[in-house]
Amino acid sequence: MFTNQLSPEEARSVILENIKRTEMEEVDLVDALGRVLVERVKSEIDVIPFNNAAMDGFAVKREDLLNASEENPVVLDVMEEIPAGSYFDGNIEHGQCLRIMTGAPVPDCTDAVVKYEIVDYLDGDGMPGSKVAFKACPKELDNIRSRGEEVLAGGTVIEAGEILGAGGIGYLANCGVSKVKVYKKPRVGVIAIGSELQMPGEPLKPGCIYESNSVALSATVLEAGGIPTRIGIVEDDFDVLCDAIEKASKEFDFVVTSGGASNGDFDFIKGVIDKKGELIFTLVNMRPGKCQTFGLVNETPVMGFPGNPAAAYCGFEILLRPALLSMQGHKNLEIPTFEATLVGDRKKRDPRRMYLRGFVEKDAEGNYRFTPAKNQSSGIYGPIQQSNCLAIIPEGEPEGGKVLDGTTLQIIPFGVLEGSVI
Ligand SMILES: Nc1nc2c(c(=O)[nH]1)N[C@H]1C(S)=C(S)[C@@H](COP(=O)(O)OP(=O)(O)OC[C@H]3O[C@@H](n4cnc5c(N)ncnc54)[C@H](O)[C@@H]3O)O[C@H]1N2
Ligand code: MOO
């Protein structure tokens, strides 16, 4: 158990040390989007499986056209038509050619395809029986895509550990693969702690508010590739919370709570984790959200976020997203950042690392500028919705108690996957 306040980086690595990768499952290709492949996939076939035409036109013996020019066009007889999906296994003589469509197999008796646009029809309409004139000699294998251009049978299509994108899914489908093994999505049980919390549907009772953190946290779990289950509201009661955490720890891969993480008379999550399992840390040097509690119950990781909405949200983004991604096999968990200059002075009297909600945009000169949301209260959601990033103000107290206009800040853009290059 850490009794000290951890830096966000320390807290993140402690969580990463205490999670397990999920098991694997076989899923249809489209369901594998954004997920990590468990094992290398090899192709059983050559892709593409045969030399095919890259243009609609005429398949020719190049030798016939060696002397073709504007002044002396070479005339060939069109023998057959080869649409895509068909196969010509005959032969042609010198002086003959084949009409061929894009994607159709190029017969071995030809060695270049000449597109329609540069061929003249002398007699007929270009269909079999016509005579067509060529005014230039194509390059060898011109407009022919070669068999195995992408991968040969037995070759690697996607390596184990790669995150499948739409391109990879298309590539696998091209190889005739329809299912792949990926790491399972972690099942995350989300508990809202607080006797003041009420579900929507009924008018609010005096002193109560509608429960919202478990809804927002479920959305963030979904964004991070997990499967959230809202377990419901648990009142501020030590024993009731003990039972809820015990039960959830046996049903889910990760348990997330919000509220009751501070030192108030009814804040029980730390005590409950300590009683039921192992309490690992309780404080992180960040604002919003210093009361970040983490531990294990029945070997299941339990993250107790603070009740204040922005504190829970930032706790998730900074500490938990990488953990959920790691459980699904992601290896590069670096949070992408870039630099922007602060617009306006910003008071900073709290020595904690600050994650400001706000908007980053490029100015006329192409420089990134960050404008903090006016209201940085950790008790409200609106500024998160209206923001496109978090800006980091480093720990410590700046001279004069404020960070000055034009200071360079690190920006964490929303919606950019860990490990991305930006
Ligand atoms: N004496 C001190 N008091 C507080 C301190 C402190 O250092 N000393 N820290 C403050 C900070 S900072 C935070 S953050 C909060 C964290 O407290 P808790 O995790 O115990 O959160 P609660 O007290 O349960 O709730 C805080 C606030 O959020 C509302 N809330 C809670 N759950 C939900 C939910 N599911 N949906 C919507 N809103 C929720 C709750 O009603 C409170 O208003 O402690 C400060 N206090
Ligand atoms: O840590 Mo609290 O989140 O500053 O409100």
User: What is the pLDDT, as a whole number, of residue 286?
Assistant: 97
Cβ of 306 closer than 6 Å to ligand 2, yes or no, is yes
Cβ of 352 closer than 6 Å to ligand 2, yes or no, is no
Burial class of residue 180 (count of CB atoms within 10 Å of its CB; 0-12, 13-18, 19+): buried
Instruction: Answer yes or no: is pLDDT of 45 > 90.
Output: yes
For residue 79, the Cα-to-chain-centroid distance in whole angstroms is: 51
User: What is the pLDDT, as a whole number, of residue 420?
Assistant: 87
Which ligand lies nearest to the CA atom of residue 235 in the structure?
Answer: 1
Report the alpha-carbon distance of residue 98 to residue 139 in Å, rounded: 17
**Which atom of ligand 2 is nearest the CA belonging to 291?**
1
Cβ of 285 closer than 6 Å to ligand 2, yes or no, is no
> What values do phi and psi take at 399, rounded to 5?
-60, 135
Report the alpha-carbon distance of residue 194 to residue 308 in Å, rounded: 11
pTM over 0.80: yes
**Helical pair 269-276 and 238-251, crossing angle rounded to 10 deg:** 60
Cα–Cα nearest to 61, from 113, 130, 126? 113
Which ligand lies nearest to the CA atom of residue 257 in the structure?
Answer: 1
For residue 83, the Cα-to-chain-centroid distance in whole angstroms is: 39
User: What is the pLDDT, as a whole number, of residue 359?
Assistant: 98
């289950």: which residue's tokens?
Answer: 229
Cβ of 260 closer than 6 Å to ligand 2, yes or no, is no
| Amino acid identity, position 50 | F
DSSP states of 199-257: -TTSPPPTT-EE--HHHHHHHHHHHTT-EEEEEEEE-S-HHHHHHHHHHHHHH-SEEEE
Q: Are 32 and 182 in contact (CB under 8 A)?
A: yes
Instruction: Answer yes or no: is pLDDT of 421 > 90.
Output: no
ipTM score:
0.97
What does the pLDDT look like over 294-341, one tens digit per residue? 999 999 999 999 999 999 999 999 999 999 999 999 999 999 999 999
Report the alpha-carbon distance of residue 20 to residue 169 in Å, rounded: 26
Report the alpha-carbon distance of residue 368 to residue 389 in Å, rounded: 12
Report the alpha-carbon distance of residue 15 to residue 185 in Å, rounded: 18
- Determine what percent of the chain is predicted with pLDDT higher than 70: 100
Q: What is the mean pLDDT of residues 161-180?
A: 97
Q: pLDDT confidence of 422, banded at 50, 70, 90?
A: confident
Query: Whole-number mean pLDDT of the chain?
Result: 96
User: What is the pLDDT, as a whole number, of residue 59?
Assistant: 98
* DSSP-derived pairing of the beta strands 209-210 and 254-258: unpaired
Cβ of 267 closer than 6 Å to ligand 1, yes or no, is yes
Q: What is the mean pLDDT of residues 150-162?
A: 97
Report the alpha-carbon distance of residue 410 to residue 387 in Å, rounded: 15
